[in-house]
Homo-oligomer: A and B are copies of this chain.
Amino acid sequence: MKSFNSRLSHHIAAKHSWLCVGLDINPENLSKVNPTLDDLNIHTKKVIDATREFATAYKPNLAFFERWGSKGFSWLEETMDYIGQETLTIGDGKRGDIGHTAKQYAISLFDHFGFDAVTLNPYMGRDAIDPFIQNPEKGVFILCRTTNTSGGDLQNLEGNGKRIFETVAEYCASLNGNNNVGLVAGATVPEEIKSIRKYAPGLPLLIPGIGSQGGDLEASLTAGNTNGAALINVSRGIIFAGDQSEEAIHDAAKNYVEKMRMIINK
């Protein structure tokens, strides 16, 4: 039985790609005016077809599905079927709750929807994480330092001689006994990725914030791939690229992966 973190490294090596395609299928970004749920579903499949060759992982953002209630969750179920087993999937829900509730989320995301990994929030401590790391084949990426403008409000507070996000990095490293724990660290803060690497050497990083959020690809990929693997998430920069045709989306994904290969091969 392979651990999630070794599966991730294997997938990255096999595709020579560090690309995670974020499926944040926002109706406001679609070129079609007043799109229906069917339109969003069709676009999602187009994105998957266009990027399968380059994506090491897909990361459906649960908020964009939940927005539509039960019909949105049907769309997510269909999306997971369409992705299939060849590409890793990360359920981006940033869940975090007490043990008996966390267990329900784990059943939802791993057993019902079939994700390979999920994103989690560390604010409630270990109880909120434990149910997700029992099965070594399934992984977690725990929020450490996030990309949003107010991300530092709490995360950069100093406590016990280090910043909160550094405490989180160290804390999460201590939970990695099954080799299935990783961290979320924003590309808008590459200096802080270096610091995270000190406290959590070897843990895979999921790095959002490239593209529309203006993160620096080279700095993040280099810092992230020092002493561990890094997945670079791109959402809007690929899924709504150019004229939103399959070709434009394909070319955007290809372009990102080629840039990544150049950076890594330097």
Residues of B near A154 (CB, < 8 A) are 122-123, 125, 164, 167-168, 171
Q: Name A159's contact: one of B61, B68, B96, B157 (CB within 8 Å).
A: B157
Q: Mark A120-157, 1 if CB is under 8 A from B, else 0.
A: 01111111100000000000000100111111111101
Is A64 positioned at the interface, with any CB of B under 8 Å from its CB?
Answer: yes
Q: Name A126's contact: one of B64, B150, B155 (CB within 8 Å).
A: B150
Interface residues on A, range: 35 or more
Residue ID in chain B nearest A113 by CB atoms = B69
Shortest A197–chain B CB gap in Å is 20
Copy total for this chain:
2
**Pairwise interchain contact A105-B63, C-beta atoms closer than 8 A:** yes
**Pairwise interchain contact B167-A151, C-beta atoms closer than 8 A:** no
Q: Which residues of A, 191-219, contact B by the 8 Å Cβ criterion?
A: none
Q: Which residues of A, 50-97, contact B by the 8 Å Cβ criterion?
A: 61, 63-64, 66-74, 76-77, 94-97
Residue ID in chain B nearest A111 by CB atoms = B67
**Pairwise interchain contact B101-A63, C-beta atoms closer than 8 A:** yes
Residue ID in chain B nearest A61 by CB atoms = B101
Is A266 positioned at the interface, with any CB of B under 8 Å from its CB?
Answer: no
Say whether, besides A64-B104, A70-B77, A157 and B152 are in contact (CB < 8 Å): no
Shortest A185–chain B CB gap in Å is 13
Residues of B near A158 (CB, < 8 A) are 159-160
**Pairwise interchain contact B164-A150, C-beta atoms closer than 8 A:** no
Instruction: Please report A residues at the B interface, Cβ cutoff 8 Å.
Output: 24, 26, 61, 63-64, 66-74, 76-77, 94-102, 104-105, 107-108, 112-113, 121-128, 143, 146-155, 157-160, 164, 167-168, 171
Task: For the A-B complex with A69-B113, A94-B97 known, give 10 more contacts whose Cβ atoms are closer than 8 Å.
Answer: A24-B100, A64-B101, A67-B112, A70-B71, A98-B148, A122-B154, A124-B146, A125-B152, A125-B155, A127-B150
